[in-house]
Amino acid sequence: MKIATILLIAAAIAALAAGLVMPGWLTFMLTLALAKGLVVLGLLLLMRAGLVSFGQGLYYCLGAYCVGIAGDYLQTQNALLLMLLAVVACVALAAIIGLLLCRYRDIFFAMFSMAFSMILYGILVKSTAFGSTDGFNVKPPLLFGWTPGGESSPMMAYGLAVVAVTGVGIFVWNYLRSPMGYAGEAIRENEIRVEYLGVSVRKVIYIKYLLAAAMAGLGGAITALAAGHIDPEMAYWTTSGEFVFIALMGGTGHAAGPVLGSIIFELLRTYAFQISPYTWQMILGTALLAIILYLPKGVWSLVERITKRIAA
């Protein structure tokens, strides 16, 4: 367990060092990918308990809007404060919605979660003060008044994203190995049995839902700080669908799956855009089909397969 943590931190340091030599577009794209990876990490917790949320966009968008609105009203560019605010707001909302959602399973959970994110979308579209569908701009982040490489550099947000993903990644990795983590899979397999074992299913799911909301909010906050612009599209159901797409692509078997999945997704999409501007959707679709057919447990299963082969 400790070795894994050390390795992850080493990887994070390597990623930060790589940031110094990477071209700007790659740094920026990886930042967005890591931010999405955070959301998908939360989704992974739910999916391992058998719950597919088509509404993580709700917290992704709420986190981003918290950063935008708080930045304006509090006149602050302090990245840590803004991210904290975003997470607190998301957990607070999830604490209320979660009470209702935790009673539902399967398609009902998926549809309900989607409905809530579409409510936020609807409200934001009507809010001309927040720019309706055009959204509004967010000031670049500072860390206690300081930013590496000047305000124009994407390094700041990248650094935040790497640190956040490392922290959350270590947490999720350990969580999945804890009794609470295993309880999720037990619930997916047989919920009634879990209840008879004396574990409160609702409590387990509720906590997972709160965690997922916090991670989605953090991802949204980082996206807002990195991109410098937010709009209600972040709460639209296609955004939530994208998270599910990434989760399927990366695989839910391991905490690294979502991060790997979102990096591959962003890379695939940007090169698809460049190579075939008219039919890029087809490339994405074909890639997902191929992954579902040949790697039903996601891209991460490939890594596991290689590890096993080397170990054997």
DSSP element (H, E) containing 281: helix 280-294
Q: Does 296 engage in binding with another protein (CB under 8 A)? A: no
- Residue 185: both structure tokens together: 């899979």
Q: Is 307 in the site for another protein (CB under 8 A)?
A: yes
**Residue 227 Cβ vs another protein, minimum distance, rounded to whole Å:** 4
> What is the SS3 assignment for 229?
strand
Q: Which residue number, 106 or 134, has a Cβ lying nearer to another protein?
A: 134
Span near another protein by CB under 8 A; candidates 38-46, 112-120, 222-230, 288-296: 222-230
260 binds another protein (CB under 8 A): yes
Q: Minimum distance between the CB of residue 97 and another protein, rounded to whole angstroms?
A: 24
Return the number of the residue (109 or 265) whose C-beta is nearest another protein. Answer: 265
What secondary structure does DSSP assign to 77-143, as a single string? -BHHHHHHHHHHHHHHHHHHHHHHHTT--HHHHHHHHHHHHHHHHHHHHH-GGGTGGG-EE-PPPBB
Residue 129 interacting with another protein (CB under 8 A): no
Q: Spell out the residues 6+ positions from residue 164 whose beta carbon is closer than 8 angstroms to its own.
A: 34, 38, 83, 218, 222
Cα dihedral 44, 49, 54, 59 sign: negative
Which range touches another protein (CB under 8 A), out of 82-90, 106-114, 186-194, 270-278? 270-278
Q: Which of 148, 273, 286, 292 binds another protein (CB under 8 A)?
A: 273
Tell whether the torsion through CA atoms of 231, 264, 86 and 115 is positive or negative. positive
Interface residues toward another protein, by CB under 8 A = 3-4, 7-8, 10-11, 14-15, 18, 21-26, 28-29, 32, 125-126, 128, 131-137, 152, 223, 227-231, 233-234, 256, 260, 263, 266-267, 269-271, 273-274, 277-278, 280-281, 303, 306-307
